[in-house]
Chain A
Amino acid sequence: MFSFQPDRSQYPDIGPDGKFEIDLETGKFLKLWQGPNHPGITGNMSVELTVNGDEVVEGKTHVGYLHRGFEKLMERRTFIQVFPIVCRVCVPEPDFNEYCYAAAVEELAGIETPEKAKWIRALILEMGRFNSYMMSIGGIGGALGNGIVGQWLTYVRDLMLDRFEELTGARIYHMFILPGGVRAGLPEGFEGRMEEVLATAERYLDDTEKLLFTNAVFKKRTKGVGYIDPALFESYGVTGPNARAGGVAKDVRKDSPYLVYDQLDFDVPVEHDSDIWARATVRYRDLRVTIDLLRQILAKMPKTGEVMTSLPNVLHWKIPRGETYIKGESSRGEYGYYLVTDGSGYPRRVNVRGPSYTHAMALLEHLIPGTNIADVAALMVSLHTYPPEIER
């Protein structure tokens, strides 16, 4: 097909080490800052681009705009006081923080979670995944000028936020998964209203398929662009949909099932091209799986039973010495909390493994050289990163 792309083989020169030789003194290059804008998609981070013509020859990531020192804050708070702040480590999908922290505390303190609470936790986590994917797919459309998809899916996400609001009492930071269980059971008639949301979502996703995934322009802009060599997955810590788009069927829900995932029936979608297209497609397919999982959870969930265990007095709750790592499959890959306790009333160390940490920095810097300026936004969105979890 006809191409507007210039012949990139002309410049810049490739040095003996196989890398571009960049000499700003030559006047051939231009420094360009992308960000730190806040579309909520690529978040508050910026990439310092070095461009040669419209080709990006180098990209340096700059983070820290959202740094609030969460892990340090946690060390200065009692175990119960950590609960309200963990969700803030990731704005669009906060619930993994709540789950991982609660599960880590429960393991070290020896607390049993009631069965029904596990189902509600899985429900919450899938609701969060649903919203996160909606943002991601809307975002990839937006990054490539197809804003209408972003509007549609933001609307659908808003409907899910209504469900969050009635279930958890809050829309964004739910603060619902307490160590020991969850704060409440389902409100009256929740299942019916959830089904309405899922049906609406499916209708909009059908339209999204027609507008985005059956779209010559979208295909042209994404296929073959932003390729990640699956051989790099291990060394760059690539997990989740980014890895599944490259043929690696990694999914914590399947590989080491937590909560009630061993009682749910689902397949892990895999693509093979490892480009922007494959990553968007894997997310789209996984979103369909999520919708199915939400229905399964509501159908299989126990209708009665406790949702919360009595805790020891949380005002002077001490947890015996120990350490643990709790992980889960977030919409962006493996999410994990490493918790060390020393027998005192405060966590000795909390380390949050947000998948964005690897994807948004090392991997992005590796992928950027050689792309067109116009593709950088789509590339970033296709990695689906949330900067707050880089800077926890």
Chain B
Amino acid sequence: MGSLRDVLSPFTAWKHVIETPVTLKNPIGREAADRYRGFHQNDTEKCIGCGSCETICQNAAIDMVPVDDPKEGDSGLRPQIDYGRCCWCALCVDVCMTGSLTMSNEYTWVDTDPDAFRFIPGVDEKPWDAIAKGYQRPGERMLSGLTRPEMMEMEPEARIDNFDEIVAGYSREQAVLEADRCVECGLCVATCPVHMDIPDYIAAIREGDYDLGTQILYETNPFSEVCGRVCTHKCETVCAAQYEGEPIAIRWLKRHIIDNVSEERRLEIVGTPQVLPTGRKVAIVGAGPAGLTTAYDLARQGHAVTVYEAQDHAGGMMRYGIPEYRLPYDALDRDIAVIRAQGVEIKTGVRIGSDITLAQLKADNDAVVLGIGLHMGRSTRVPGSDAPGVEAAIDLLRRITAGEEVPVPKKVAVIGGGNVAMDIARSMARLQKQKYGAVGVTVTALEDFAHFLADKEEVTESIEEGIEILDARGPQEMVTFKSGKRKGEVKGLRTWKVISIFDDQGRFAPQYDEADEIVHEAEMVVEAIGQMADVSLLGDELTEALQWNRGRIAVDADGHTSEPWLWAGGDSVHGPDVIHAVADGHKLAASVSAMLAAKAEVAK
């Protein structure tokens, strides 16, 4: 075998002797490719410490370590990476919710200290911190969803002549898709005033276990059905998903759980108090979210709780403030039914201060809790503000709920830019549509749209319903008829343009342009500005005895007033929404309960 060619041919390799060597003279220091996955960088300002990088790391190379105090929407933790474990797969970069974590293309690092290779990118300064090249996620985040499913809502034409609920709620498919997007970082839990276990109940949705979901909701919030509709959802403002995409629709997911559990089943899941009656009595003034949450907690612990409510139905602002199209009364009733099932007695139509005195309550009970809310509307007190035809929003909303006859003129002007202003504008618009077939509501707000107080959806939906919203207008006068049959009655609202409302430091300092004056024609002007608590029930003596804090009853961290038998919470003390009131309720109940336990000890 083999030929002469097979013997000679290999010698051609000798030609390589005269070729230039191909080896690199100095391989150390060679720059890696532009997208090389080298050492980590973290923009710590952008990072929120959500820990998704830690979760995804298959090798447990990442630990979230505290580098700063936690802030709203920032855990204060930052990823520490152990290069003894890291495999440079960059899934941490891909999953990063803010895009703060990247990799430089630097790959040489020499150190005699083995512990140096466990470091906190962005915090421990490294030579590659400023290198722009390296692995960056191309385009948007692909490892979890960016957008929320659109909520089905009634069209403006269909909803404007009635008080039917606008929002349809998620279907199972929509809810699962939305629940899937959650990365379970828990920043929402820290922000939620009652620290609802949001990631866990979202996980229950993914599993389709609505019983478990309901159980989790009730661990922290007896008003989940209400909050699932009208919560101000501070949780969503800190959601990790918002930085590249939309925040998780936490509020709608909460509602989805409750929507999928019947009232009977809910009562079964929550159950009734499993303790012996303690024989202690607590009176609660006001059947709003603060009072009823306190009642729920205390009743679950075996105390006898009576709630006194001045109105004909329980619910407080949830019923008499929030319009039905946002929160149907039967949804509220279902939440309250669970609370009643705990043995809580709610006495409606009883006004403390006139029907029963506070002193009487003090005498008959071991503790008294005030959850009286802010049921009095403020007036601008501009000229004409006491004329017939000028109404307070909070009063009108109450009358609408109570089914009382309210005047419905063709033209209504509303002063205010908060959610209450939107609530009354939209309620009046519905009544106008029913009566005249047309909407004629103008909202004038001091604030410009950039500083608007009302929720964005409220503004959008109001405009869809044909309500005119004029931002940056300051009320100057309620114009009245100067003569004739209707002399003295309101015929319009005169406003000036607000050029700017806050100064450089964000302090209120409005500037007007008086040349830009409008008289808004209206037979009714509704003032929907601030609200205040009606503290007349306290009486002079108690008012004098109590400590106060800038117009509100002073309480300690647990809601205890300066009087040993009296607690106070909710809007009238802290404000400004249902979920804060629920949080107050829990605190009040814990504080009252501790005192009752102490009383029981002493009695022994």
The answer to whether B384 has its CB under 8 Å from any CB of chain A is: no
Shortest CB distance B216–A (Å): 16
Residues 1 to 43 of chain B near chain A (Cβ within 8 Å): 1-3, 5-7, 9-10, 12-13, 16, 22, 32-37
Whether A165 and B180, one on each chain, are in contact in the complex, defined by CB atoms closer than 8 angstroms, is: no
Whether B144 and A313, one on each chain, are in contact in the complex, defined by CB atoms closer than 8 angstroms, is: yes
Docked complex Cα distance between A389 and B57 (Å): 24
Whether A316 and B203, one on each chain, are in contact in the complex, defined by CB atoms closer than 8 angstroms, is: yes
Shortest CB distance A78–B (Å): 8
Whether A84 and B35, one on each chain, are in contact in the complex, defined by CB atoms closer than 8 angstroms, is: no
Give the residue of B13, B52, B56, B90 whose beta carbon is less than 8 angstroms from that of A148: B13
Whether B12 and A311, one on each chain, are in contact in the complex, defined by CB atoms closer than 8 angstroms, is: no
Whether A84 and B87, one on each chain, are in contact in the complex, defined by CB atoms closer than 8 angstroms, is: yes
Q: Which residues of A contact B2 (CB under 8 A)?
A: 216, 219-220
The answer to whether A312 has its CB under 8 Å from any CB of chain B is: yes
Shortest CB distance B392–A (Å): 48
The answer to whether B603 has its CB under 8 Å from any CB of chain A is: no
The answer to whether A268 has its CB under 8 Å from any CB of chain B is: no
Docked complex Cα distance between A165 and B138 (Å): 16
Shortest CB distance A313–B (Å): 4
Whether B138 and A184, one on each chain, are in contact in the complex, defined by CB atoms closer than 8 angstroms, is: yes
Docked complex Cα distance between A265 and B1 (Å): 36
The answer to whether B201 has its CB under 8 Å from any CB of chain A is: no
The answer to whether A362 has its CB under 8 Å from any CB of chain B is: no
Docked complex Cα distance between A175 and B88 (Å): 9
The answer to whether A22 has its CB under 8 Å from any CB of chain B is: no
Residues 107 to 122 of chain A near chain B (Cβ within 8 Å): none
Whether A175 and B89, one on each chain, are in contact in the complex, defined by CB atoms closer than 8 angstroms, is: yes
Q: Mark B31-65, 1 if CB is under 8 A from A, else 0.
A: 01111110000000000000010011111000000
Shortest CB distance B141–A (Å): 9
Q: Which residues of B contact A220 (CB under 8 A)?
A: 1-2
Docked complex Cα distance between A315 and B203 (Å): 12
Whether A315 and B37, one on each chain, are in contact in the complex, defined by CB atoms closer than 8 angstroms, is: no
Give the residue of A1, A81, A148, A162 whose beta carbon is less than 8 angstroms from that of B58: A81
Give the residue of B16, B36, B89, B95 whose beta carbon is less than 8 angstroms from that of A315: B95
Whether B138 and A219, one on each chain, are in contact in the complex, defined by CB atoms closer than 8 angstroms, is: no
Q: Which residues of B contact A175 (CB under 8 A)?
A: 37, 87-90
Whether A211 and B12, one on each chain, are in contact in the complex, defined by CB atoms closer than 8 angstroms, is: yes
Docked complex Cα distance between A220 and B3 (Å): 11
Q: Which residues of A contact B9 (CB under 8 A)?
A: 210-211, 214-215
The answer to whether B145 has its CB under 8 Å from any CB of chain A is: yes
Segment of B151-159, B181-189, B494-502 in the binding face: B181-189
Q: Mark A129-159, 1 if CB is under 8 A from B, else 0.
A: 0000000000000000000100000010000
Shortest CB distance A344–B (Å): 11
Q: Which residues of A contact B206 (CB under 8 A)?
A: 316
Give the residue of B6, B13, B59 whose beta carbon is less than 8 angstroms from that of A216: B6
B134 (CB) vs chain A CBs: closest residue? A169
Shortest CB distance B339–A (Å): 34
B residues contacting the other copy or chain, number (CB 8 A): 46
B57 (CB) vs chain A CBs: closest residue? A81
Docked complex Cα distance between A388 and B9 (Å): 37
Whether B32 and A214, one on each chain, are in contact in the complex, defined by CB atoms closer than 8 angstroms, is: no
The answer to whether B450 has its CB under 8 Å from any CB of chain A is: no
Docked complex Cα distance between A84 and B89 (Å): 6
Whether A155 and B22, one on each chain, are in contact in the complex, defined by CB atoms closer than 8 angstroms, is: yes
Q: Which residues of A contact B56 (CB under 8 A)?
A: 80-81, 314-315
The answer to whether B267 has its CB under 8 Å from any CB of chain A is: no
Q: Mark A169-208, 1 if CB is under 8 A from B, else 0.
A: 1100101000010011101000000000000000000010
- Which of A169, A173, A183, A310 has most chain B Cβ within 10 Å? A169
Q: Mark B431-469, 1 if CB is under 8 A from A, else 0.
A: 000000000000000000000000000000000000000
The answer to whether A83 has its CB under 8 Å from any CB of chain B is: yes
The answer to whether A166 has its CB under 8 Å from any CB of chain B is: yes
Q: Mark B86-126, 1 if CB is under 8 A from A, else 0.
A: 01111100110000000000000000000000000000000
B4 (CB) vs chain A CBs: closest residue? A216
The answer to whether A367 has its CB under 8 Å from any CB of chain B is: no
Once A84-B91, A85-B58, A169-B135 are accepted as A-B contacts, the answer to whether A313 and B180 lie under 8 Å apart by CB is yes
Whether A314 and B143, one on each chain, are in contact in the complex, defined by CB atoms closer than 8 angstroms, is: yes
The answer to whether A308 has its CB under 8 Å from any CB of chain B is: yes
The answer to whether B275 has its CB under 8 Å from any CB of chain A is: no
Q: Which residues of B contact A78 (CB under 8 A)?
A: 58
The answer to whether B142 has its CB under 8 Å from any CB of chain A is: yes
Shortest CB distance A87–B (Å): 9
Whether B143 and A214, one on each chain, are in contact in the complex, defined by CB atoms closer than 8 angstroms, is: no
The answer to whether A77 has its CB under 8 Å from any CB of chain B is: yes
Q: Which residues of B contact A180 (CB under 8 A)?
A: 142
Q: Which residues of A contact B181 (CB under 8 A)?
A: 313
Shortest CB distance A217–B (Å): 8
Q: Which residues of B contact A309 (CB under 8 A)?
A: 142
Docked complex Cα distance between A261 and B89 (Å): 28
- Which of A155, A165, A314 has most chain B Cβ within 10 Å? A314
Residues 158 to 194 of chain B near chain A (Cβ within 8 Å): 180-184
A149 (CB) vs chain B CBs: closest residue? B13
Shortest CB distance A5–B (Å): 14
Docked complex Cα distance between A376 and B181 (Å): 56
A158 (CB) vs chain B CBs: closest residue? B22
Whether A165 and B33, one on each chain, are in contact in the complex, defined by CB atoms closer than 8 angstroms, is: yes
Docked complex Cα distance between A1 and B1 (Å): 8
Residues 216 to 272 of chain A near chain B (Cβ within 8 Å): 216-217, 219-220, 223
Docked complex Cα distance between A11 and B571 (Å): 102
B137 (CB) vs chain A CBs: closest residue? A183
Give the residue of A84, A155, A214 whose beta carbon is less than 8 angstroms from that of B6: A214
Whether A311 and B58, one on each chain, are in contact in the complex, defined by CB atoms closer than 8 angstroms, is: no
Whether B10 and A169, one on each chain, are in contact in the complex, defined by CB atoms closer than 8 angstroms, is: no
B135 (CB) vs chain A CBs: closest residue? A169
Docked complex Cα distance between A169 and B89 (Å): 10
Once A169-B37, A215-B9 are accepted as A-B contacts, the answer to whether A84 and B58 lie under 8 Å apart by CB is yes
Q: Which residues of A contact B145 (CB under 8 A)?
A: 310, 312-313
Residues 546 to 568 of chain B near chain A (Cβ within 8 Å): none
Whether A315 and B55, one on each chain, are in contact in the complex, defined by CB atoms closer than 8 angstroms, is: yes
Whether A170 and B36, one on each chain, are in contact in the complex, defined by CB atoms closer than 8 angstroms, is: yes
Whether A313 and B37, one on each chain, are in contact in the complex, defined by CB atoms closer than 8 angstroms, is: no
Whether B184 and A219, one on each chain, are in contact in the complex, defined by CB atoms closer than 8 angstroms, is: no
Residues 304 to 332 of chain A near chain B (Cβ within 8 Å): 308-316
Docked complex Cα distance between A83 and B91 (Å): 9
Shortest CB distance B39–A (Å): 13
Whether B5 and A315, one on each chain, are in contact in the complex, defined by CB atoms closer than 8 angstroms, is: no
Shortest CB distance B148–A (Å): 13
- Which of A1, A311, A315 has most chain B Cβ within 10 Å? A315
Once A85-B58, A216-B7, A313-B143 are accepted as A-B contacts, the answer to whether A184 and B91 lie under 8 Å apart by CB is no
Docked complex Cα distance between A248 and B283 (Å): 91
Once A313-B180, A314-B143, A314-B144 are accepted as A-B contacts, the answer to whether A166 and B138 lie under 8 Å apart by CB is no
Once A166-B34, A313-B180 are accepted as A-B contacts, the answer to whether A308 and B6 lie under 8 Å apart by CB is no
Once A175-B89, A311-B142, A315-B95 are accepted as A-B contacts, the answer to whether A187 and B34 lie under 8 Å apart by CB is yes
A1 (CB) vs chain B CBs: closest residue? B1
Whether B35 and A311, one on each chain, are in contact in the complex, defined by CB atoms closer than 8 angstroms, is: no
Docked complex Cα distance between A180 and B141 (Å): 13
- Which of B32, B58, B95 has most chain A Cβ within 10 Å? B58
Docked complex Cα distance between A308 and B9 (Å): 50
Whether A311 and B143, one on each chain, are in contact in the complex, defined by CB atoms closer than 8 angstroms, is: yes
25 pairs of residues in contact across A and B, judged by CB atoms under 8 Å: A1-B1, A83-B89, A155-B22, A166-B34, A166-B35, A169-B35, A169-B37, A169-B90, A185-B138, A207-B13, A211-B13, A212-B10, A215-B6, A216-B3, A216-B7, A217-B10, A308-B142, A310-B142, A312-B144, A313-B182, A314-B95, A315-B52, A315-B143, A316-B184, A316-B203
Q: Given A170-B88, A219-B1, 11 other A-B contacts at CB below 8 A?
A: A155-B22, A169-B35, A180-B142, A211-B9, A214-B10, A216-B6, A216-B7, A220-B1, A220-B2, A310-B142, A313-B143
| 10 nearest A-B residue pairs (beta carbon) | A84-B89, A81-B58, A216-B2, A313-B144, A214-B9, A166-B33, A216-B6, A169-B37, A165-B33, A314-B143
